[in-house]
Amino acid sequence: MKPHILKIVLVAAGAVAAMTIIFWPKAEAVTVREGQPVGDKIVKSDAEWREQLSEQQFRVTRKRDTERPFTGAFWNSHADGTYACVCCGQHLFESDNKFDSGCGWPSFSKEFDTDAITLREDNSHLMRRVEVVCSRCEAHLGHLFDDGPPPTGMRFCINSASLTFIPRKASGAASTAR
């Protein structure tokens, strides 16, 4: 067989193998679901969000961007309190459920309340993932993976730029309002 034909055959076989791996239907370990926020949903124009958010917060939360690993404000934070949506203030995660996954983004084993989070299928960048979205304002938060610690086995990999932090009160009780 001529060398150029062999190269074409190998490239084609590799492309077929890659597409099969990427798009082969498989059981989802995480169930996609719609959260139900307390109160009304918040809808704003891009111009209104730009007025409220920094450029990085806007890119991450409104345009589904991702901050570079090990650069966000909360990836290595060990403070005690609640992480809320930077766009609408809805409570999303508790520091008690935060862990160091080594990925460079804040990681949580479970959400503050299942209704605070919407989970959506995300097939961008030739990957099959589950996108994590604030149920109140539709802010992109990050992604959910099924490689977290027991007992949940879940890892909410969240962009620091999508979060704001509310320290736990000195009395030891964090606010439970969303």
* Cα four-point dihedral sign 104, 177, 61, 152: positive
Q: Assign 124 to helix, strand or coil.
A: helix
| Token pair in block for residue 29 | 């370990």
- Choose among 65, 69, 89, 97: nearest CA to 163: 89
Helix locations, the chain, DSSP H:
3-23, 46-52, 55-63
Determine whether 87 is an active site residue.
no
Q: Which residues are catalytic?
A: 157
